[in-house]
A = this chain, B = another copy of it.
C-alpha cells in the first residue's frame, strides 16, 4: 500500500483518485448482443449461452422441482444463516415503508404521495467462483416488501446448465417469482426487451462484470431504469490510536479479497498505526485463500496519515466511500459528520462484513464516488412515489388567482383557462 503522510489539500485529488473506467470500447460489442436479443429472442439467448457459458440450454426456466431439490443440497447451518440474515434485512427494510401523509396545503387542497411497487423488476446475480446469494437477499427482500408483482432472477448456468443450490434456496426464501438460467449481456437484454420466455421488466438490479455493467448503461439510455452506476467495490477506514491493528487489517483485507480492482483506503491520525497494520496484513494474508487477489488490490491502495480528526473527516467526505468504517474514539460523534458515504460502520465491533451479510442494511451501495449523489439500494429503489391532489370547488377558487397569474406570465393561457372554465361555470 502507498503511504502518504500529512498531504496538503492540493494533493488530495490525486491520492483519492479512482481508476478511470471507460466502457466505450465495449459498447459496440455489447450493443450488438442487445440488438440480437431484441430481434431474435430466445434463439439469440440460446446462441450466446452456448458461446459464453459453454452449455446448450433447451430451456432457461428453473422449475419448482429444481428449487425443491436445491433446498436439500444446502447445509442446515447455511440455511439458518440465510434465514437469520433475511430476517434482519427484512426488519430493517420493512421500517422504510411509508404510509401516505395527507397535507392540506390550503383549505380545500389536499395533496399526498403514495409508494407503489414497480410492477416488474429484474435481478441479476453473476456467476463465477462464488455464488452471491447474499446479493439476492439484498435485492429480493426489498422487492417483495415493496409489493413488486413480478420479480425475475437471471443468473448464468454452470457447465452443467445448473444454478448453485444456495442461489436457488435464497431465491425461494425471498420470494422471487421466476428464475432463469441466463447470464451476461444476453440476460440484461432479455429482461430489458422481453423474449418468448423472459418477461420484459421496468427496472434491472444487480452487479456484474464490465460487459454486464456496460449493458445496463446502454439499456438505461433506452428508458429501462437501473439500480445505480457500477464501479469496483471499496472501503475506507478511519482509525485513531484506539484502533486495533488486527481489526483494521482484517477489514482492509475483506475488501481487498473482492477483486484485484478493489479500492482500499486507510486514513489515520496515528502514524504509528501504519507499520502495525502493515505487519498484521502480511500475517493475515498468509492463511488467506484469496491472498493473490488481495495482494493485487493492495498494490493500488492507500494509507494516509493526517493531523487531526477534522482533516480525516474532510478527506473522507471528499472520497465518498462505498463503505466507511469508523474505528476510533467517539465513533458515533464522527458518524454525524459524514456527508458522503454509502454505508457507515461505527466503532471497533462493526466490521464491513456484518453489513455485507446480515446486520440488516443493504450491501448494494454507490461506489466510485457516486455516494456524493446516489443512495444505496433500499425499499425506495423498488417503488415509485406517485403524487395525488384533490381539490374541492372552493379549494380551486382559493388557488385560482395564483395559477392564472403564473400561467399567464409563462405565456400558457390554456393552463389558465383550465382553472377559469371551472370557476366561472
Contact = CB atoms under 8 A, between A and B. Distances in A.
Interface in A378-425: 378, 380, 383-393, 395-396, 399, 401-403, 405-407, 409-422, 425
A273 interface: no
Contact of A422 (B220, B247, B341): B247
A344 B403 contact: no
Interface in A187-243: 202-203, 217, 220-221, 223-225, 229
Interface string A122-134: 0000000111111
Contacts of A344: 386-389
A96 B345 CA distance: 26
Give the number of times this chain occurs in the complex, counting copies.
2
Nearest to A255: B414
A84 B82 CA distance: 53
A335 interface: yes
Contacts of A375: 383-386
A25 interface: no
A401 B351 contact: no
Interface in A71-106: 77-78, 80-82, 84-85, 87-88, 91-92, 95-96, 101, 103, 105-106
Nearest to A23: B221
A355 to B, nearest CB: 6
Contacts of A87: 105
A299 interface: no
A370 to B, nearest CB: 6
A345 B358 CA distance: 42
Contacts of A339: 116, 119
Contacts of A84: 399, 402
B81 A406 contact: yes
A380 B372 contact: no
Contacts of A46: none
Interface of A: 77-78, 80-82, 84-85, 87-88, 91-92, 95-96, 101, 103, 105-106, 109, 111, 113, 116, 118-119, 129-134, 166, 202-203, 217, 220-221, 223-225, 229, 244, 246-247, 250-251, 253-254, 256-258, 284, 288-290, 294, 331-332, 335, 338-362, 366, 368-376, 378, 380, 383-393, 395-396, 399, 401-403, 405-407, 409-422, 425
23 contacts: A78-B405, A78-B406, A80-B405, A81-B403, A81-B405, A88-B399, A103-B360, A109-B360, A113-B378, A129-B411, A202-B373, A223-B368, A246-B421, A254-B415, A284-B414, A288-B414, A344-B387, A346-B389, A349-B392, A349-B395, A352-B418, A359-B389, A360-B389
Given A294-B414, A342-B387, 20 more contacts: A78-B405, A80-B402, A84-B402, A118-B373, A166-B409, A224-B373, A225-B373, A247-B418, A250-B422, A254-B415, A288-B417, A342-B386, A344-B389, A353-B419, A354-B403, A355-B389, A356-B403, A358-B402, A361-B388, A375-B385
